[in-house]
Structure 1
Amino acid sequence: MDILIVEGNGPLNGTVPISGSKNAALPILIASLLMEGPVYYTNVPRLRDIGTTLKLLEVLGCPADMDEAGNVTAQPCEIAYQAPYELVRTMRASALCLGPLLARLGRASVALPGGCAIGARPVDMHLTALEKMGATFNLDAGYIEGFTDGLKGAHIAFPFPTVGGTENLLMAASLAEGTTVLENAAREPEVCDLAEFLIQCGARITGHGTSEITIEGVPTLRQPENASYRIMSDRIEAGTYMAAACITRGEVLLKDCPVESMEAVIAAFEDMGAKMDAREDGLFVSAKEKLSCVDVKTLPYPGFPTDMQAQIMAVMTMAEGSGVIEETIFENRYMHVQELVRMGARIKLSGRTAFVRGVEGLTGAPVMASDLRASASLVVAALAAHGVTAIRRIYHLDRGYENIDAKLNAVGAKVRREQE
């Protein structure tokens, strides 16, 4: 099993290219199941979760090939209805197969999904919404079994914004009979990217990016001939390298950074004292002086993203003063705290609130990654720590960051992989 060895090496300086978004690519690739005819994608990141998704598509009758440049060709043919546990167990996004399979086949069998252990994240809202469209479900031997004689448009009000639920319903409703209205829909940029892809293929969707989305069902979906779809850049990857630049007091150009979707993250780091300069080719981040702690509350988009909570906490551990972080999205997303404390951080927890007091310096230590973004926070902290940090269980990291060691080394870090 790989260990990531990180040695503190001073400020990061240079250019970091931002890859395609994992959280956008996963549902868009799964949407291939809806299509009549081949589909072409560009800017797809080479990640563990992407590889799992391509294997899942093949099992479901939609073979997909990816080249070294991040281009994917998917060929829907004989669509199957069962998503097996062996593939689903590592990836939460596999629940997104439910909507497309019900829309195309009238039947779906999807193993209860896995993924990061950061909270319950139930699929109940997905199922309740699909039931309003005419589906029925039962749980059999760890599989969600769904059936329908044909999905019908419905008026659906989510109890709170759900990214996965909104994406599942966008796909299902695109081929349903009649009109579907989603109230309290998720507004995340990745949801909008999925909607734009479906629109390219003939879907009739309006209101994406707002809390109310309207979908008029169409008989078939097909990507236009000689067209392709470019996956948006990853705002969370960009935010992670922003944090790395800030904690090391460096200057980094985030090439192809999706600035327009990162207002809350940019504002938080500017409040800490970092300088941000949006340029034609990306975002220039400068943090030559020591930053100050701030108060942060995670919220659905356009609020501060939960996926950046751990990384900004790592930066605050070495900032001036103290700050409060409130996690409102997931109930179990502070597993990185004890690992940061092992490195010398001063953090106290009370329920979903973390109180962070900055220290003069962190010290390298052996630490354990518990989930994807926790892994990223430990890397960020290690870049500024004195000495060497050994991060175990980095398979979490490889689920969401493309070539993170190479990208960091290119801007002055000292990062290497070793076999345990």
Structure 2
Amino acid sequence: MDRIAIIGGARLQGEIPISGAKNSAIKLMAASLLTDEPLRLTNMPRLADTRFLGKLLRRLGTEVVESDGPDGAETLLTTPEIISGFAPYDLVRQMRASFNVLGPLLARNGQAKVSLPGGCTIGARPVDLHLKALEALGAKIDLHEGYVYAQAPRGLKGAVIDFPFNSVGATEHAMLAAVLAQGDTVLENAAAEPELADLADCLNAMGAKVTGAGTRTIHIKGVGRLSGATHSVIPDRIETGTYAVAAAMAGGEVRLTRTRTDFIQALLDKMVEAGVEVIPHNDGLTIKRNGGRLQAVEVTTDPYPGFATDLQAQFMALMTLADGESVFRETIFENRFMHAPELGRLGADISVHGGEARVKGVASLEGAQVMATDLRASVSLVIAGLAAGGETIVNRVYHLDRGFERLEEKLGACGAQVRRLKGDGDEEVE
């Protein structure tokens, strides 16, 4: 199993281009099941998660062709017909978001058998809201032996769906199904993340009629069929925030390009409060930190546009070196402080009580062996390693490969001493 080794202490100087958003790309790929015409996605990230979903889509009948276009990586997805409505456990378990093929299969094919995605290390993340939304649209849902059996032989029907809380996955899933439903659908208390608006833009380019995406109320007027389209994936706001924090942690000056500041304004506000210089520009932002100790701040995760839970671990790593005590309140997922004891191995002073973590800033961190527990936690350990004395080795970095494209290359281009170690030995991967 690969590992990442970091020699801390190098200040960062340079430019990092931001990739397309993972959390948007995988839902856009699922949208290709809704039409028999080609869907071309540009600005695509090349990640373990997109490879997993591509493998599942091929099983269902999609031809997936990856290439390099004038604006970066592209993926062309064409599904002339659904050759199988069966999504098995051994594929769905590799990535929870692959469960979202259920809605498109049901909308276009009238039936599907999809594995439940299973547990998650950062919390239960049940799919009951997904299933209730599909039932509201007229689907008959049965659960047997870990599989969802869904049927809508006469097609889905528009409905009013009022979510009990802002669920990104359930909102996306309902949208993917409702675009081909008969009549009008209204999604109330919907999630408002930028990825929802990106999905709606793509679906509308395919001929759907979706309005209000990015707000708490989404209106969908069902259409009889969708066509092909070309759509550019939005920049990855979590990758943007991660590299912004990394630059602040290591010190120096890093320009982040091909991205948007409005997607991570809550994070940037906290970084400025902590003493980091943030300079917005036309295609991104510059992060500068050239001396002076950071100041402790309080953070509460919230649905967008609040402070993203997917940036909590990274920012906690930054606050380990701040002056004073920082307080983190996690309101989205339980069990999302598993990085805290690993940061403690580097010398951080963190105490966790339920959904709250208190971080007392220390003078310095020291490199050590640490273990990645999930995607965002793994990159927080890399960030901490950038400022720790000596060498930090992050184990189980397959988590990283799910969400960060060419991480070692991007940090290394700015002067970080980061390398990948192959397996359990010390041999580097070329």
User: What's the TM-score bracket when you normalise by the shorter of the two chains?
Assistant: over 0.9
2:399 to 376, 385, 396: 396
Moved over 4 A (4+): none
CA distance in 1, matches of 2:275, 2:81: 55
1:253 to 235, 240, 255: 255
Q: Is the 8 A contact 1:118 1:333 kept in 2?
A: yes
What residue in structure 1 maps to residue 203 of structure 2? 198
The secondary structure found in structure 1 opposite 2:267 is: helix
Summarize deviations over 1:17-60 as a string: whole Å, max 9, x none: 10010001010011000013111111110100010111111011
1:287-302 to 2 correspondences below 5 Å:
287-288=289-290, 289-302=292-305
CA distance in 1, matches of 2:145, 2:120: 22
CA distance in 1, matches of 2:120, 2:252: 31
CA distance in 2, matches of 1:75, 1:115: 31
The secondary structure found in structure 2 opposite 1:262 is: helix
How far the C-alpha of 1:114 sits from its partner, in A, is 4.6
CA distance in 1, matches of 2:73, 2:89: 27
1:275 to 239, 260, 277: 277
1:94-105 to 2 correspondences below 5 Å:
94-105=98-109
2:183 to 172, 178, 183: 178
CA distance in 1, matches of 2:115, 2:205: 30
338-347 vs 4-13, greater mean Cα deviation: 4-13
How far the C-alpha of 1:412 sits from its partner, in A, is 0.7
CA distance in 1, matches of 2:417, 2:218: 46
1:93 to 97, 104, 129: 97
The secondary structure found in structure 1 opposite 2:403 is: coil
How far the C-alpha of 1:78 sits from its partner, in A, is 2.2
CA distance in 2, matches of 1:250, 1:356: 24
Report the AA paired with residue 27 of structure 2: P
Q: Is the 8 A contact 1:17 1:255 kept in 2?
A: yes
The alignment status of 1:310 with 2:337, answered yes or no, reads no
How far the C-alpha of 1:10 sits from its partner, in A, is 2.3
What residue in structure 2 maps to residue 413 of structure 1? 416
What residue in structure 2 maps to residue 112 of structure 1? 116
CA distance in 2, matches of 1:99, 1:264: 32
**Count of residue pairs brought into register by the alignment:** 417
1:152-191 to 2 correspondences below 5 Å:
152-191=157-196
Q: Unaligned regions of 5+ residues in structure 2, if any?
A: 425-430
How far the C-alpha of 1:87 sits from its partner, in A, is 1.3
How far the C-alpha of 1:257 sits from its partner, in A, is 2.0
TM-score, normalising length: structure 1: 0.98
CA distance in 1, matches of 2:311, 2:283: 23
CA distance in 2, matches of 1:63, 1:318: 49
CA distance in 1, matches of 2:119, 2:281: 35
Q: Is the 8 A contact 1:343 1:365 kept in 2?
A: yes
Q: Is the 8 A contact 1:259 1:282 kept in 2?
A: yes
CA distance in 2, matches of 1:402, 1:222: 30
The secondary structure found in structure 1 opposite 2:379 is: helix
What residue in structure 2 maps to residue 29 of structure 1? 29
Q: Is the 8 A contact 1:344 1:363 kept in 2?
A: yes
The alignment status of 1:73 with 2:76, answered yes or no, reads yes
Report the AA paired with residue 133 of structure 1: L
How far the C-alpha of 1:167 sits from its partner, in A, is 0.4
CA distance in 2, matches of 1:243, 1:297: 17
Summarize deviations over 1:277-335 as a string: whole Å, max 9, x none: 11123211112232111100000001000000000000000111111000000011111
What residue in structure 1 maps to residue 287 of structure 2? 285
Q: Unaligned regions of 5+ residues in structure 1, if any?
A: none
CA distance in 2, matches of 1:78, 1:208: 28
Q: What is the root-mean-square deviation of aligned Cα atoms in Å?
A: 1.1
What residue in structure 2 maps to residue 379 of structure 1? 382
CA distance in 2, matches of 1:72, 1:196: 17
How far the C-alpha of 1:108 sits from its partner, in A, is 1.3
The alignment status of 1:57 with 2:57, answered yes or no, reads yes
Summarize deviations over 1:86-140 as a string: whole Å, max 9, x none: 2111101011111101101111111111575110000000101111111121222
Q: Is the 8 A contact 2:35 2:80 kept in 1?
A: no
2:150 to 121, 140, 146: 146
Summarize deviations over 1:207-259 as a string: whole Å, max 9, x none: 111100000000001125xxx21100100001000111111122110011221
Report the AA paired with residue 53 of structure 1: L
Q: Is the 8 A contact 2:329 2:355 kept in 1?
A: yes
How far the C-alpha of 1:416 sits from its partner, in A, is 0.8
The alignment status of 1:210 with 2:215, answered yes or no, reads yes
Q: Is the 8 A contact 2:278 2:288 kept in 1?
A: yes
CA distance in 2, matches of 1:280, 1:256: 9
CA distance in 1, matches of 2:3, 2:288: 30
Q: Could you tell me the percent identity over the aligned residues?
A: 50
Summarize deviations over 1:58-100 as a string: whole Å, max 9, x none: 0111111112441111111221211111211110101111110
Q: Is the 8 A contact 1:249 1:290 kept in 2?
A: no
CA distance in 1, matches of 2:118, 2:13: 37
How far the C-alpha of 1:374 sits from its partner, in A, is 0.3
CA distance in 1, matches of 2:354, 2:163: 26
What residue in structure 1 maps to residue 128 of structure 2? 124
